[in-house]
Amino acid sequence: MANIGNPFTPSEKKAVLCGSGELGKEVAIELERYGVNVVAVDKYPGAPAMQVAQSSHVLSMLDGDALAQVIEEEKPDLIIPEVEAIATPKLIELEEKGYKVIPTAHATFLTMNREGIRRLAAEELGLPTSRYEFASTEEEFEAAVGRIGCPCVVKPVMSSSGHGQSVIRDASQMKEAWKISQEGGRAGGGKVIVEGFVDFDYEITLLTVRHSAGTTFLKPIGHHQVDGDYRESWQPQAMSPEAEKKAQEIAGSITAALGGHGIFGVELFVKGEDVIFSEVSPRPHDTGMVTMISQDLSEFALHARAVLDLPVPEVRFYGPSASKAIVVEGNTSEYEFIDVDKVLEEPGVQVRFFGKPEIRGHRRVGVILATDETVEKALQKAERAYSKLKVKIHQ
């Protein structure tokens, strides 16, 4: 039975959102459609989800004590992580005390560290992955590269969005790759994973929803990454029925092992009929923003349903669609989207501006969404819209 009271009363459902970026903002909006009281948390004030939540707290979510203090103060029905960088051992303690962590505290703990999730996928579940080794020192790292062979990919075990990641094409690049890995990781150095380079035909995110009525797989999302960071995505990615079946089997297996209710972004590499597991995020995925235009229920709407223990009897797919990230570079706390009217001239185009309070270096500040008769046309439409947009950086 799923009951939802009105906000700010003893019957309310309260959610603490750990992470208040653009994905969290959409989750907050979708939860609020059900009258949920959303408390947004992040390390800086004015974060996107804070701008739509009923209240917020500014703190480092890697600080377990600070996080626990906010949770004990707010006493939420749900703790919903939006990012990986959270004191996940503290989430395990909070879960033991009776708090509900989405999808489970153990899932957030395992997926925070590439080692945890890779060992679960490859060694416990027997899923196909790239060859890999872990290394904690430069010596171990060089030996691991020697065994895996070139080309290979190096990533800090605590990292995301391409931070600290590089490809080693020959042994001469080894020293530089180690240096990059030690500077780019979330924990500031430490253990890395060395992965055999997968020469895939294409890569996908298979969004998988675990909800009260079962597990639903969405149409595969293809995407294009630059330096490990997503720039464009499209749905559906054409796949052979055989490859799609394998992808669903892998996604079903890993999400069942992680457990709980919510949406999962399962990242897979596809080469011919072979499907290789790469990683999984137990939360909405950036490449899944395309679902804001391609489906009746976006990945955020589905996440809200799932975490509230509501069923997902159907997801209606509207048609081929694309998303294009608006990434800008600068150093400012004021910027302006110019010619937005021109961007929206064509039918089948939408935009989302995230409202980030400042830009320091590269920052994703919005996304263009487009839909058309084919994926190719949708991608071209998104590109046309993007080319009409200017971002003015105020000094």
DSSP tag of 220? P
Identify which range of 67-75, 194-202, 362-370, 374-382 contacts ligand AMP by CB under 6 A. Answer: 194-202
Binding to ligand AMP (CB under 6 A) within 149-168 occurs at 153, 155, 160, 162
Residue 384: active-site member: no
Contacts of 263 (CB under 8 A, 6+ apart): 207, 208, 209, 283, 284, 285, 288, 299, 302, 303, 306
Site for ligand AMP in 99-138 (CB under 6 A): 130
Interface with ligand AMP (CB under 6 A), residue total 14
| Residue 114 phi, psi dihedral angles, 5° rounding | -60, -30
Interatomic CA distance for residues 162 and 117, integer angstroms: 17
Q: Is 101 helix (H, G, I), strand (E, B) or coil?
A: strand
198 lies in the binding site for ligand AMP (CB under 6 A): yes
**Coil, strand, or helix at residue 353?**
strand
Binding window for ligand AMP (CB under 6 A); candidates: 35-43, 85-93, 197-205, 249-257: 197-205
Residue 251 contacts residue 206 (beta carbons within 8 Å): yes
Q: Which of 364, 366, 371, 372 is catalytic?
A: 364
Using alpha carbons, select from 220, 208, 205, 215 the residue that is nearest to residue 268.
205
Q: With beta carbons less than 8 A apart as the criterion, state whether 134 and 112 touch.
A: no
Our finding on whether 195 is near ligand AMP (CB under 6 A) is: yes
> Smallest distance from the beta carbon of 319 to ligand AMP, in angstroms?
25
Smallest distance from the beta carbon of 203 to ligand AMP, in angstroms?
5
Q: Which residues of 346-361 are buried (b: 16+ CB within 10 A; e: fewer)?
A: eebbbbbebbbeebee
Q: Which is nearer to ligand AMP, 60 or 225 (CB)?
A: 225
Is 77 a known active-site residue?
no
Q: Minimum distance from CB of 160 to ligand AMP (Å)?
A: 6
The answer to whether residue 197 forms part of the interface with ligand AMP (CB under 6 A) is: yes
- Report whether 227 contacts 361 (CB < 8 A): no
- 166, 208, 278, 287: the active-site residue: 287
84, 286, 299, 372: the catalytic one is 286
Q: Which is nearer to ligand AMP, 35 or 188 (CB)?
A: 188
Which residues, including other chains, have CB under 8 Å from residue 12's CB and lie 6 or more apart?
5, 6, 35, 36, 37
Residue 279 known to be catalytic: yes
Residue number, 59 or 198, with CB nearest to ligand AMP: 198
- Residue 286 falls in the annotated catalytic set: yes
279 lies in the binding site for ligand AMP (CB under 6 A): yes
Q: Is 203 in the site for ligand AMP (CB under 6 A)?
A: yes
Active site residue ranges: 160, 162, 267, 279, 286-287, 364
